[in-house]
Structure 1
Amino acid sequence: MATRAKRQPRIEPTFGESDSSLLDLRLSPRDRPSAPSGKTSSKPKSRKTSKSGTAKKTAAKKPASGGRKPSRGGSGKARSGRSGAKRRAAKRKNRFQAPTALGRLVKRGLYWSMVLGIWGTIAVVCIVGYYAAFLPPTSEWQVPARPPNVKIVASNGALIANRGDTGGEAVRLEQLPPYLPNAVIAIEDRRFRSHFGVDPIGLARAMVTNLTSGRLQQGGSTLTQQLAKNLFLEQDRTIKRKIQELVLAFWLEAEYSKDEILEMYLNRVYLGSGAYGVDAAARRYFGKSARLMTVAEAATIAGLLKAPSRYSPARNPDLAEDRAQLVLAAMNEEGYITDDEAKNALAAPAKVVRRYTTASENYAADWVMDVLPHFVGSIEKDIIVDTTIDPAMQQAAEQALRAALKENRQKYGVTQGAVVTLDTAGAVKALVGGADYSKSQFNRAVYAKRQPGSSFKPFVYLAALENGMSPQTVRQDRPVRYGNWSPQNYTKEHYGPVTLTRALSLSLNTVAAQLAHEVGAGTVVATAKRLGISSEMKKNLSLSLGTSEVTPLEIAGAYVPLSNGGYGVLPHVIRRIRTVDGKTLYSRSGDGRGRVVDRRLVGEMNLMMSETLMTGTGRKARLESGRPAGGKTGTSQDFRDAWFIGYTGNLTTAVWLGNDDNSPTRKATGGGLPALVWKEVMDKAHDGLPVADLPGVPNLPATVSAPRKPVPAANVGSGSEPLPPAPIGGSGEGSGERRGPLNLLRNLFGGG
């Protein structure tokens, strides 16, 4: 029997240093879940020991459970274990395969988002830096000064108008009612108090709205951005301007507080009709300061910001009211006004005061702005101009002119007019340059040159008195001819010998032409210039009938010496100019032209001129209560211009009626409609003024004679002045001062 081989002793694994080489815990391919099942019987590679160098073969892979060898006959179990491991691995693979793909997709998305975000940021920074490079250096950035405002006030301190590039005063935020700035914030920039110059939420909302609607509906600009645009940039819509606007908005937010930014915005934003700033808009639409606006008016002003022309209450009141209601709803939603305040504002919407655009005071304000540079040069800060305008007289002149034109436009064919009133020093107390300022801003009182007709004759008669004649001097009313010129009276009749007083009161053209021929046309021109006519005058005999053009203002100023005792004046409207802090820049001083007419001759002229109102062509201009007055009618060729210019011891007023295109009227004469306008203006202007005699009249001698033949009409050549028959004897009217010498003189001259 063969001897059984000696069994090798079992070697237990140890972890000592000497036996470390005997333990190999590394996994073979067979132990891996992904190992192919067909290779389970393959032989493992032999390993050499480092000490003995002998090769040792292992029949099978050591199990991972501590290195125990599988028992004999246990190969099926091993295979079964391996199959279970593979099944478990497959389950794990199936379980985590889908989430792993989604995770990879998310990771890739995050990665590329970060990449694109980084590059996008770089691109934005580069674009912003490129367009910002076109701006001046930051060291030079500063908010430009607000254009200066010119506040023009009447003689009693009442505001006439604001002029300048803004049209209103600069107001402090604390001076405004709180609901005004809140209305602007509520409708334009709800997060104004919290954002940093740019509102990302509002910008995103605007982008979504514009994309979904397919058109530009919202802008997304903050108040700070709008201010930056208004202060520094043009109004074009380009990427360059928008980026520069963003940069400047950040700078404004860094340099100024929210209140300062809001104040600058409210004082500079355009609100339509030439109004820049809330004060200009308040005066333009509501005739009041922004300090006094109601909730409804504040909502209306805030509503203009979206589209000043479209939502202007002066042009589209219905749209303006609808927009104001949206603003009120926004204010209520933001908690700026209560439910009751909102209801009250809705129940009493803002009402536009149209007088701001039509008021005749604007003519005076425009004239102030025309002459202002001659007094103060360039204007660099807000100033106040004190004028000589009397509000009551101004209102009276405006109402009288408008009523006359409205009632007689068709009858007399007149569409325009002008009125100017001066005191004895030449200060303009009232000035109306046209029928309606909103329709025509041309100032006819100051700049319209028209033929004065017979209203120029007083300068001819004064020249005659200065050359030795007197009111009692007699001239023949007869046909005359000078070369090819043969002036005729209105009635084509002649009345024989008449005194100069009667000839002037009846406006006889033949006598005026004779006087001009006797003293010389050059003498008449010199006399008129000395009294204040500055327009060019032709030195011919037709000048005596008023063929050279003048303005209402200058001829009124030339009549003033007859009311003040013979002193020439310079018509003026500015009394003083000062800054808002009280510094005086200009104050009027001086006595005008000095004496231009001898006082004795002033008395004689006043005697003659008063007869025009008592018995002559100006009877319709006789003032109430018998107040002494003198004046002269005037009608130019073909009835193109109708004038009445007259005065008392207090005031002088000139009235002109006609058409801008110089077309003939329907026989409107100076003794008709202009005389009635003059009377209404002067009656109201003299309310409360003491009765004053005309200078020099009581001292005149009462030794004159005149024809008593009634003269039905007179004047022309260059116009016409129809005259109703004059009654003989006094009417018994008049004050005690007037009843003595003037009644006697009227009887002596055949007047009534």
Structure 2
Amino acid sequence: MSNSGRRKPPLVAEKRKPKSKPKPPAKPRSTRKSRKRAAPRRGGNVVTRAIFGLLHWIWRIIWGVGWRLTVVALLLLGGAVGYYYNTLPEASALLDGRARGSVTLLDRDSDVFAWRGDQFGGAVNAQAVSKHLRNAVIATEDRRFYKHPGIDPIGIASAIRINLSEGRGPLSGHGGSTLTQQTAKLLCLGNEYVEADWKSEAEYVADCRRGSLGRKAKEAIYAMAMEVKYTKEEILSIYLNRAYMGGGAYGAEAAAQRYFGKHAAQLNPAEGAMLAGLLTAPSTLAPTSNIERSQNRASVVVGLMRNQGFLSESEAALALANPAELSQAAERQAGGYFADWVMSSGPEFFTRDTTEDVIIRTTLDQRIQRAAEAGLTAVFEEKLRDGSKAQAAVVVMSADGAVRAMIGGRQTKVSGAFNRATQANRQTGSSFKPFVYATALELGYSSMDTVVDEPYCINIAGSGNWCPSNYSNRFHGRVTLADALQHSYNIPAVKVAESVGLDLVRKVASDFGIQSDLAAGPALALGASESTLLEMTGAFAGILNGGSSVTPYGLVELKLLGSDEPVMGAGGGIGERVIREDAARELTWMMSRVIDGGTGSRAKLPGREAAGKTGTTQAARDAWFLGFTADYVAGVWMGYDDNTPLTGVTGGGLPAEIWREVMVRVQEGMPATPLPMDAPRVQPAQPQVAEQPQQPQPQQEWQGNQGRQQVPQQQQNREGPIANILRQLLGG
């Protein structure tokens, strides 16, 4: 059978779908068409497409112009940086930026006790100072100092954020300046001070500190130039040497010496933190102004140092538990009255207006200065009524006139104040009487000679009768000169002065160092003339040293910083002899009786010989006590600045007590050395003064074998110039 006419069976299994034919590849669409077709998917409508097109066109313009402007700006910036780069000197030339010189004052042991002028302690390297100071400055002022190129965008952004959060303008308050920018400001962008271009130096400084946008832009460029020119350590060195840290101290070394009495390399964490804390407000935060405020700021700095890894937890805790304290010199507020006096007494071109760095060694003994202040304070706190405005002054010196301590007022820790020890001319009262008796002793009289204390009047031409009286308004009859001085009788002092001659009394007082105008009339004997406490104390020093004049002095030696040879030496000391040594020794004995039972008994020292004299002026406007031991002379004045009379105060009262409290502290621990004094050897055989001297003639008052013509030969050989002149005039 044939199969013709039948369909052939399929070649695949039943129920299996045939393979699909591969699709031909799609024809590529043009980019333009695809974009046009894709656009509706992004924006949707025509308006959206137009907006996006406009933005795209603007962006293309911005990008096209922006990168070109950026290139131009960078070129201009590079040119400006290059310009400043070429103007920058070597880093070493920028370390000391003061416009004037400084004065450093040393005490008798060559320890610093005061500063004047802009202080610069010497150039220091950032690596040479204490690491704690270096780290404290970086932690406080610029923690990214080692990472930025002179400006810190992160710091600027942070400062703007803080300013806005505190309700200020973006550029008001925190500025975000780097240490390099602050250094650029300290350098005034390289513009040095030229006196002819400015009304004052203060105006120049104010211009350098301006904070305008233009100024900040210049600072940024200058800072970047510095980063190119100098290393980070050099920039930090310039900053540490130029930054003002309060108290007249410029730079880390000066501040370390000023506040802590040590080098900048020796600062501990607490001290380094305190100095770094001053940088934001040096005058306000200076520890000499307010130590607690400065310590509080330092504790904040310690916290920053701990947070930034410069201090461990234990180191930070130790620094917080032991805050930095001022040195003794810093506590004394720049030397007080003594430093002011030395500065005013030295040559102006080396002190007040110096353009050099000067070092002055002085006579000051800081132990004695503290003793004087403690003695004065003790009496005023215990004995003076509340609210009293009475003032006092104290001077302590050696027998050669070297001033060891000086207080010019009740407020002891001041500078630039009125100095009552050197500037106040006040009547001396009875404290002048030793010079009356010094004249008599120099002319050969004895302290055992007598004079009658009785009503007494002198007819003064043009003024009529002048009748002095004693403080007690009582008369004591015949008394020795020693008794008259011991109890400060006025009438005997006037009689003696009239008898020996007022001109000679004036000459003796003047030769002993009282340079003020001395009264011409008989009231001279009662201290009607004015003098300063310094002059009077110096005159009493002449009695202690055996009768030679002294010129009080405080300056021992003046040098320029870095020089070994002194520019000048001491300007005072012992001068010419005024009275014989034996006369001075007898006068010392007379004055010792003033303390041993006389008007100055409240000044008596336990277990130590002392001599002195009280003084109270008319209406008690001034009260004095001046005296000495074998080691030191001290003078005390008390009164009101406006001449208001003191109430219940005489020289033998509070001034004598102040003198005692001062000298007890001054002499503490010192051996009790006897006074250089001699009691009179010859007792008079008969009265030495006329019985009724109502209108005495000066050359007839004195009688007897101890008179002017009867000086023993051994005394004549040792006479002072006064007696020699008189002997020639009298033919003796």
| TM-score, normalisation: structure 1 | 0.73
Kindly state the Cα deviation for residue 309 of structure 1 after the two structures are TM-superposed: 4.5
Q: Which amino acid aligns with 1:390?
A: D
Amino acid at match of 1:307: A
State the partner residue of 1:480. 456
The correspondence for 2:36, drawn from 93, 104, 107, is: 93
Would the alpha carbon gap of residues 179 and 125 (structure 1) be closer, same or farther in structure 2, given more than 3 Å must change?
Answer: closer
Q: 1:356 aligns with which of 320, 326, 330?
A: 330
Note the 1:398-409 alignment, pairs <5 A.
398-409=373-384
Q: Which has the higher contact order (CA 8 A, sep 6+)?
A: 2
Q: What residue is the counterpart of 1:222 in the other structure?
A: 178
Structure 1 residues 637 and 231: CA distance shift in structure 2, 3 A: farther
Q: Which amino acid aligns with 2:591?
A: M
CA contact (8 A) 1:564 1:649 kept: no
* Aligned partner (choices 602, 613, 625) of residue 644 of structure 1: 625
The aligned amino acid for 1:477 is D
Larger CA deviation: 680-689 vs 238-247:
238-247
1:343 matched to which residue of 2?
317
Q: How far does residue 619 in structure 1 lie from its aligned partner after superposition?
A: 1.3
Cα separation, 2, equivalents of 1:554 and 1:85: 117
Report Cα offsets for 1:571-610 as digits up to 9, x if no partner.
Answer: 1122223345451213448863221211232123122212
**Paired residue for 2:437?**
461
Q: Give, in angstroms, the shift of residue 338 of structure 1.
A: 1.6
- Residue deviations 1:268-324 (CA, integer Å, cap 9, x gap): 322334443345545665566545443223223222222235545566666545543
1:371 equivalent in structure 2: 345
- For residue 187 of structure 1, what is the amino acid of its counterpart? T
Instruction: Write out aligned runs for 1:383-422 (5 A).
Output: 383-410=358-385, 413=388, 415-422=390-397
Task: Give runs of aligned pairs for residues 535-684 of structure 1, distance below 5 A.
Answer: 535-581=516-562, 583-585=564-566, 586-588=568-570, 592-625=574-607, 627-684=608-665
Q: CA deviation at 1:433?
A: 2.4
Q: Structure 1 residues 167, 598: CA separation in 2 closer, same or farther (over 3 Å shift)?
A: farther
1:431 paired with 2:406, answer yes
Aligned-pair distance for 1:334? 2.6
Kindly indicate whether residue 675 of structure 2 is the aligned counterpart of residue 701 of structure 1: no
* Segment drifting more, 632-641 vs 247-256: 247-256
Structure 1 residue 336: deviation in Å? 1.5
Cα deviations by residue, 1:588-636 (Å, 9 ceiling, x for unpaired): 48863221211232123122212211221111222222x3322101112
Deviations 1:431-473 (A, max 9, x none): 2223223456333222222222111111122223344543223
Separation (CA, whole Å) in 1 of partners of 2:377 and 2:365: 18
Distance 2:466 2:215 in 1: 71
Q: Which amino acid aligns with 1:370?
A: S
Measure, in 2, the Cα distance between the counterparts of 1:696 and 1:87. Answer: 129
SS at match of 1:271: coil
Name the CA shift for 1:431/1:465 in 2 (closer, same or farther; >3 Å): same
**More off after superposition, 207-216 vs 668-677:** 207-216
2-structure distance, mates of 1:103, 1:354: 74
**How far 1:183 sits from its partner (Å)?**
0.5
**1:272 equivalenced with 2:253 (yes/no):** no
Pair 1:678–1:110, CA change in 2 (3 A): same
Deviates more, 1:269-278 or 1:298-307: 269-278
Q: Is the 8 A contact 1:566 1:599 kept in 2?
A: yes
Aligned residues: 618
Structure 2 vs 1, CA of residues 315 and 580 (structure 1 numbering), >3 Å: closer, same or farther?
Answer: closer
The residue that corresponds to 1:736 in the other structure is: none
Against the structure 1 CA distance between its residues 279 and 447, is the aligned structure 2 distance closer, same or farther, given a 3 Å change threshold?
Answer: farther
In structure 2, how many angstroms separate the alpha carbons of the residues matched to 1:375 and 1:568? Answer: 29
Instruction: Note if 1:491 corresponds to 2:472.
Output: yes
Residue 112 (structure 2) pairs with residue 159 (structure 1): yes
Q: Does 1:331 align with 2:311?
A: no
Query: Match for residue 696 of structure 2?
Result: none
Question: What's the counterpart of residue 67 of structure 2?
Answer: 114
8 Å CA contact 1:162, 1:168 repeated in 2: no
Preserved contact between residue 411 and residue 666 of structure 1 (Cα < 8 Å): no
Moved more, 246-255 or 506-515: 246-255
Please say if residues 362 and 555 of structure 2, whose CA atoms lie closer than 8 Å, have aligned partners that are also in contact: yes
Q: 1:494 deviation in Å? A: 0.9
1:527 alignment partner, SS class: helix
1:405 and 1:414 in contact (8 A); partners too: no
Structure 1, residues 157-178: CA drift from partner, whole Å, max 9, x if none?
3331233222866655455321
Please say if residues 288 and 333 of structure 2, whose CA atoms lie closer than 8 Å, have aligned partners that are also in contact: no
C-alpha spacing 1:355/1:690, structure 2 compared with 1 (3 Å): closer
State how far apart, in whole Å, the 1-side matches of 2:609 and 2:525 are. Answer: 26
1:222-242 CA-to-partner distances (Å, cap 9, x unmatched) read: 223323333446234254654
For the residue of structure 1 that corresponds to 2:114, the secondary structure is strand
TM-score (norm 2): 0.75
The code of the aligned residue for 2:144 comes to: R
What is aligned with 2:206?
Answer: 235
Contact 1:405 1:416 in 2 (8 A): no
User: Which of the numbers 288, 296, 311 marks the counterpart of 2:270?
Assistant: 296
Match of 2:17 in 1: none
Q: Percent identity?
A: 39
- Structure 2: which amino acid aligns with 1:575? V
CA shift digits 1:119-159 (9 cap, x unpaired): 76799899x79xx99x9977899535545443322222333
| Secondary structure in 2 matching 1:394 | helix
Q: Is the 8 A contact 1:504 1:609 kept in 2?
A: yes
Structure-1 separation of matches of 2:411 and 2:329: 10
- List runs of 5+ in structure 1 lacking aligned partners: 1-83, 708-752
Q: State how far apart, in whole Å, the 1-side matches of 2:575 and 2:481 are.
A: 28
C-alpha distance in structure 2 between counterparts of 1:332 and 1:657, whole Å: 54
- Which residue number corresponds to residue 137 of structure 2? 184
- 1:35-89 CA-partner distances (Å, limit 9, x unpaired): xxxxxxxxxxxxxxxxxxxxxxxxxxxxxxxxxxxxxxxxxxxxxxxxx999996
CA distance in 1, matches of 2:56, 2:334: 80
Q: Which residue of 2 aligns with 1:471?
A: 447
- Name the stretch that deviates more: 339-348 or 99-108: 99-108
Asked if 2 retains the 8 angstrom alpha-carbon contact of 1:361 and 1:431, the reply is no
Rounded Cα–Cα distance in structure 2 between residues aligned with 1:208 and 1:107? 32
Counterpart CA distance in 2 for 1:544 and 1:433 is 27
TM-superposed CA distance for 1:556, in Å, is 0.8
The worse-fitting range, judged by mean Cα deviation, of 242-251 and 536-545 is 242-251
- Counterpart CA distance in 1 for 2:359 and 2:669 is 29
Q: Give the one of 188, 191, 199 matched to 2:152.
A: 199
Distance 1:632 1:314 in 2: 39
Separation in 2, partners of 1:484, 1:450? 26
Q: Which amino acid in structure 2 is aligned with residue 445 of structure 1?
A: A
Task: Give the drift of 1:530.
Answer: 0.3
Bigger CA radius of gyration: 1
Contact 2:494 2:526 in 1 (8 A): yes
**For residues 186 and 527 of structure 1, do their structure 2 counterparts lie closer, same or farther at Cα, with a shift above 3 Å needed?**
same
